[in-house]
């Protein structure tokens, strides 16, 4: 097997890649819709894993209210969601850091790799989800669902930010780590190297079928290039 070059930068997804929130996000969306519209919306009935927060909000709104939301309505939903999430995440009984996450982040940092986040969650939500695990300290920057509702575009935004920290960085020197085919597709579209991690709903077979450049069972497995 050919040796894999060490990445210059690695971008990590948050949900089911670094942490499992124990349903905190879904509960917080539900409370936001219930408080604003009297409808305890189930985002799982209207969205799929790997979608960005703006996509989740719009699809759920259409699903439960039968129309498109206005910009003001979305802003209110986002605000209520973030407030509920900040309260729920610290008491979520199912919250856990996924196996190997801390060790992998430490090893990458020690190897001189630039670490960033690339998450479909809004910036406030992504950072909030990492607070109980104290993982924010590892990441220099990030790009989020609040930067673009399109995952490929926000991945490109994250790569551009990484390039500001490292001269002559090319997308092919950036690894994008995530647990869904959406992450793999976004990495491909941005010209980066995808690392699929079967720590969420998708198996290693499914991530291979999605075209992952590298696929591992969990972050306890050897990380490509290290």
CB burial string 11-25: b at 16+ within 10 A, e below? bbbbbbbbbbbbebb
Per-residue confidence (pLDDT) for residue 47, from 0 to 100: 65
Tell which wins on pLDDT, 26 or 207.
Answer: 207
**Residue 142 β-bridge partners:** 117
pTM listed for this prediction: 0.92
Region for residue 225 given its phi and psi (left: phi exceeds 0; alpha: psi -120 to 50; beta: otherwise): left
9-21+95-216: which CATH topology? Rossmann fold (3.40.50)
Domain with CATH 3.40.50.1000 in the chain: 9-21+95-216
d(CA 68, CA 109): 43
The confidence band for 22, taking pLDDT boundaries of 50, 70 and 90, is very high
CA distance 74 to 67: 12
Count the alpha carbons within 13 Å of 63 in the hemisphere toward its beta carbon.
Answer: 17
Tell me: the pLDDT tens digits for 56-82? 899 899 988 999 999 999 999 999 999
Secondary-structure percent of the chain, ordered helix, strand, coil, rounded to 5: 45, 15, 40
23 pLDDT exceeds 90?
Answer: yes
Q: What is the CATH number of domain 24-88?
A: 1.10.150
Greater pLDDT, 44 or 107: 107
Q: Give mean pLDDT, residues 37-41.
A: 91
**Average pLDDT, whole number, for the chain?**
94
The Cα 172–Cα 152 span in angstroms is 15
Helices (H), ranges, the chain:
24-37, 53-65, 71-88, 101-110, 123-130, 151-163, 181-190, 204-209
Q: What is the pLDDT of residues 145-171, one digit of tens each?
A: 999 988 899 999 999 999 999 989 999
**Residue ranges matching CATH 1.10.150 in the chain:** 24-88
Rounded Cα distance, 183 and 17, in Å:
11
Measured between alpha carbons, how far is 187 from 26 in angstroms, rounded to an integer? 26
CA distance 189 to 187: 5
- Is the predicted pLDDT of residue 2 greater than 90, yes or no? no
What pLDDT does residue 20 have? 97
pLDDT tens digits for range 78-128: 999 999 999 999 999 999 999 999 999 999 999 999 999 999 999 999 999
Q: What is the largest CA-CA distance in the chain?
A: 57
* pLDDT one-digit tens code per residue, 175-203: 999 999 999 999 999 999 999 999 999 99
């Amino acid at each position: 097997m050919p040796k894999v070059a060490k990445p210059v930068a690695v971008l990590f997804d948050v949900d089911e890649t670094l942490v499992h929130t124990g349903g905190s996000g879904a509960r917080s969306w539900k409370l936001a819709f219930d408080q604003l519209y009297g409808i305890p919306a189930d985002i799982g009935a209207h969205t799929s894993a790997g979608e960005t927060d703006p996509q989740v909000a719009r699809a759920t709104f259409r699903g439960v209210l039968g129309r498109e939301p206005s910009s003001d309505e979305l802003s209110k939903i986002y605000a209520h969601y973030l407030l509920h999430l900040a309260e729920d995440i610290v008491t979520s009984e199912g919250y856990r850091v996924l196996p190997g996450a801390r060790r992998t982040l430490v090893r990458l940092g020690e190897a001189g790799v630039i670490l960033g986040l690339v998450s479909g969650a809004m910036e406030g939500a992504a950072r909030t989800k990492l607070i109980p695990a104290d993982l924010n300290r590892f990441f220099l920057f990030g790009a989020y669902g609040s930067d673009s509702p399109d995952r490929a575009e926000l991945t490109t935004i994250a790569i551009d930010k990484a390039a500001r920290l490292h001269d002559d960085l090319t997308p092919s020197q950036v690894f994008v780590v995530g647990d869904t085919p959406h992450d793999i597709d976004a990495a491909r579209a941005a010209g980066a190297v995808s690392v699929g991690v079967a720590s969420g709903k998708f198996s290693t077979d499914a991530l291979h079928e999605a075209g992952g450049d590298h696929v591992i069972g969990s972050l306890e497995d050897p990380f490509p290039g290290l």
